[in-house]
Every structure is written in C-alpha cells, then in structure tokens.
Structure 1
Amino acid sequence: MKFSKINRGGLTAIAAVTLLALGGCAQKGGGMNVDNMLNAGMMGVQAATLSDADMQQLTNDSCTKMDKTNKLAGAKDKYSVRLANLMKGMPSSVNGATINYKVYMTKDVNAWAMANGCVRVYSGLMDMMNDDEVRGVIGHEVGHVALGHSRKAMQVAYATAAARAAAGSFGGSVGALTDSQLGDIGEAFVNAQFSQSQELAADNYSFDLLTKAGMKREGLKTGFEKLAKLGNGQSSVFDSHPPSAERAQNIANRLAGK
C-alpha cells in the first residue's frame, strides 16, 4: 500500500483531508462556494462516525469494485494455488471477519487489506518474493486490519472522495454511492499512507503472528531488504517511513531477541 504523510488519529485528520481537497469547490473569480465547503465538511464528519454496518457495506462494495477493475487470478491459476498453499496455517479471520485472499495479475509490487478481511496480493510482489516473504507481507497487512489502521484509512478515503465531489453529487449515505465513487474510494484507500508508528506496529504484529503460527520470521527481514533495493517510487507496498532498510533492521533485532 502506498501511503501519504497524513496522521490519521481520527476526526482531525479527516477534517484536514477534507480541507485539502476543497480546491475543487472554488468559484470562478477566486471565491469559495460556502455551500460546497459545508457539504464537504459534513461528509468528512460523517466519515469519522461511520457505523459498523456502514463500514462493512463500504468495504464490501469497495472491494467488489476493485476486483472488477483489476484482473483477478483464476482459482486454478498458479498464483492462486501458490497463495492458497502458503496461507495454510495463517489466520482465516481477523476482528471477526473472514479473510478472503486473492491475487491481482499485475507487475506492480503491492498488497493491501480492508477491514472486512478483503486481502489482495499483486502477482508482481509474488514474483519478487519467496513464500516466507509473502507471508510476512500478508501478516503485515492483516496487522493493519487487526490494529484498526485499515478502518481509519477507509474513513479517510471516504472523506477524500466526498471532499473532491464537494458539490452535492456525493451520495448522502454509503448505500447511495455510485460505481464511480466506489472506484475513487478504493483507489484512495490503496494509495493511503500509514504513520511510522502504525507501520512498525504492523511489522511487529506480523512477526508475532508468524511466531505464534510456528512459521519462519526471516522472510520479513529479507522481504524488506528486497524492497529497499527497488529504490524510491518502484514499490507501493511499505513505501513509507521508516525506510525498508530500517524496518529490516527492526526485524533483525527481534530475531536476535533484542
């Protein structure tokens, strides 16, 4: 997942995203359409207070839209078969949601997970990494879900899309979202960015998850090392602070019992 430098602590962060996106509300002549600003602001507040039911529907619909937009590997495709095999022993649910693992056929190096258990791994990442490394990546993404980071990321994605619409065309409820709006929300989620503390927490969650499952943890370290060699801008997953090299060292320290 490619992340920006937004601190997603709650309503303040969502309000900031709303304001940043309000450029589209400006009227000709440099004025600002207050009605549009209020509409965007209210949608930002609504995003921060989405109910569990609304969040479930939003993540379900967003995941479905992303699956329609991207090329999915078939059930018998070598990528799907490999993913199913390497996921044996890994969690089948997180926060009460059944995890649904699938592969997107693309050269991009990425992976992400939504709060409803929708986990997507890109074939480009699987080509670059061995099974232990892929498990480490998926454990990291599941960590974002388990720790509540993915829910907050979806709230921000929803607020961002609402602010950009900003002229009353954005649906008044999650159920009223159009196919296009769901696509915008899905893309905003995939391109969201977690904070340094969230990233480290998800790294350590993956390490602990693999430890509990009795699986090798070294893949987390070597996976980060491979990502570090890609250079800036060539990888979406883990493309954030701290750098991959530092995160590899964190895992090395944990492997050494430090």
Structure 2
Amino acid sequence: MGNVDPTGLMGAGGSAYKALSLSDDEIVAMSDESCAAMDRKNTIANAAGAYATRLATVVKAMPSTINGKPADYRVYMTKEVNAWAMANGCIRVYSGLMDLMNDDELRGVIGHEIGHVALGHSKSRMQAAYATSAARALASASGIAAVKTLTESQAGDLAEKFVHAQFSQAQERAADDYSFDLLTSRKLERKGLVTGFQKLAGQGEGQQAGALLGSHPPSAERAARMQERLDSAG
C-alpha cells in the first residue's frame, strides 16, 4: 500500500487494485489531465501582471525540475488560501495565499508542495483520488491511452479530489523537512516556514476548502517544529 491512505480506497471496488498498480507514467498522464482541467476552471494570472511577476521572482532560486519533470509555476486568481503540486511538475499557487504571505513564506509553502511530489506523496494522493473519483470507470482499462480518454467531467472530478485531499501527518512533516532542507541547500531564508505556518494557524484551520488550511498536524504545531529546527541549525 505504500503511502496510500487505505480509507481513500475503501468502497472503491475493483478500482482500488487498478489505482495501486498505476505506473509512474500513468500518474503523470493523469496529472496532465487533472491540471489542465483545473487550469480551465480557474482564472490564471496574466503573465505580465503583478501576481505572475511576483511568483516568478519568488521561485527564481527554486527548482526548475521535480523528479525530472519541468516545474510549471502559475497563479490562480482566487481568494482561497491554497497551493498544490502534481507529479507532472504542475505547481499552482492561489492569489489568496500570495496576499497573505511574504516572499520567504511563499517559498516555504512552495518548497513544501515540491516535497510532496519529490517524496512520492503526490503519487499516492492521485492513486487515492483516482480510486474514489468518476475516473474509476477506467479500472478495466490500462495505459496512458486510456487515461487520455477521460471526459472533462471525469478529469475535473479527479482534480478536485486530488486538490482537496489531505496528506497524513507523517507526510506533512516529511514535506516540511524537505522544504527546510531545500531552502538550506539553496541558501534561502528559512524563517518563512515558521511565520508562514503561524499565519495559516491564524486563518482558522479547517474553515476553508483548501487542504492547506486543514492540515494535520495543526499549523501552529508545525511552526513550532520548524522553529526548533531553525534554532538547532544555528
């Protein structure tokens, strides 16, 4: 089962086996379809506008590839406080999050989302989303060609389930550590991991749709843990 949450597969019938047997290429193909569906649903910030320009500056020193896939950073114009990344390198940051955080805090969150991809968490999240989404109708099919037959509705449902799913506590902590280590290796400010989580805690966790605000463990606890790492690092 790896990192797949068993509760996400309960009741999925034969699609559970198919979900667990998805190849890396199929996961990437599903991510392509899901990300495209989300892009069609949301308003993407103008490349020459203030939000896209700021994000380009924020990620200039961040990875340009994740697990060999080009990193595609874009901003969704929405008040929701959220961000996510998929196995195909699709990274989306919401303008509501950018309004809330300074540049160092944004890098901390983005590094965290990159960590989920690099550590394989996004793969297991897509597997669980697939097993419980309308796309599970493909359980009897196989291969990338089958994935590309997803209807707009199926791709949209799969994307929504992926974006709003929650990672386990262990996965969240591992992604936090990945971000801390990534920022350290690139000689970037790490304090944003502390203050960023403090801001998320102040937003009232679990009160909004974004999985970022419904984190487990709570953001205040994660902020304290990052402060401990920062103090230990000197």
Letter of the 1:195 counterpart = S
1:185-244 CA-to-partner distances (Å, cap 9, x unmatched) read 000000111110100000010000000111000001000011111113345215222111
**Relative contact order, higher structure (CA 8 A, sep 6+):** 1
Letter of the 2:221 counterpart = E
Runs of 4+ in 1 over 2 A off after TM superposition: 7-10, 16-20, 168-173, 232-236
Structure 1 CA distance for aligned equivalents of residues 215 and 106 of structure 2: 18
Q: Which residue of structure 1 lines up, in the alignment, with residue 166 of structure 2?
A: 193
Structure 2 CA distance for aligned equivalents of residues 243 and 56 of structure 1: 30
Question: Is 1:228 equivalent to 2:201 in the alignment?
Answer: yes
Give the TM-score normalised by the residue count of structure 2.
Answer: 0.91
Structure 1 CA distance for aligned equivalents of residues 29 and 14 of structure 2: 20
Q: From 219, 223, 232, give the equivalent of 1:248.
A: 223
Give 1 or 2 for the bigger CA radius of gyration.
Answer: 1
Structure 1 CA distance for aligned equivalents of residues 154 and 2 of structure 2: 21
Letter of the 1:9 counterpart = N
Letter of the 1:241 counterpart = H
Letter of the 1:255 counterpart = L
Question: How big is the shift at 1:256?
Answer: 0.5
SS at match of 1:41: coil
Question: 5+ residue gaps in structure 1?
Answer: 1-6, 21-39
Q: Which residue of structure 1 lines up, in the alignment, with residue 232 of structure 2?
A: 257
Question: Is 1:17 equivalent to 2:8 in the alignment?
Answer: yes
Structure 1 CA distance for aligned equivalents of residues 139 and 25 of structure 2: 19
Structure 1 CA distance for aligned equivalents of residues 179 and 170 of structure 2: 14
Question: How big is the shift at 1:91?
Answer: 0.5
Stretch moving more, 171-180 or 64-73: 171-180
Structure 2 CA distance for aligned equivalents of residues 188 and 140 of structure 1: 19
Structure 2 CA distance for aligned equivalents of residues 129 and 169 of structure 1: 40
Structure 2 CA distance for aligned equivalents of residues 133 and 17 of structure 1: 31
Q: From 96, 106, 128, give the equivalent of 2:100.
A: 128
Cα RMSD of the aligned pairs, angstroms, is 2.0
Question: Is 1:160 equivalent to 2:132 in the alignment?
Answer: yes
Structure 1 CA distance for aligned equivalents of residues 99 and 140 of structure 2: 40
Q: Do 2:14 and 2:139's aligned partners in 1 also have CA atoms closer than 8 Å?
A: no
Q: Which residue of structure 1 lines up, in the alignment, with residue 109 of structure 2?
A: 137
Letter of the 1:94 counterpart = I
Q: Do 1:224 and 1:244's aligned partners in 2 also have CA atoms closer than 8 Å?
A: yes
Structure 2 CA distance for aligned equivalents of residues 109 and 232 of structure 1: 11
Give the TM-score normalised by the residue count of structure 1.
Answer: 0.83
Q: From 65, 76, 80, give the equivalent of 1:93.
A: 65
Q: Which residue of structure 1 lines up, in the alignment, with residue 186 of structure 2?
A: 213
Q: Do 2:33 and 2:148's aligned partners in 1 also have CA atoms closer than 8 Å?
A: no
SS at match of 1:193: coil
Question: How big is the shift at 1:77?
Answer: 1.2
Structure 2 CA distance for aligned equivalents of residues 178 and 8 of structure 1: 29
Q: Do 2:81 and 2:213's aligned partners in 1 also have CA atoms closer than 8 Å?
A: no
Aligned residues: 227
SS at match of 2:132: helix
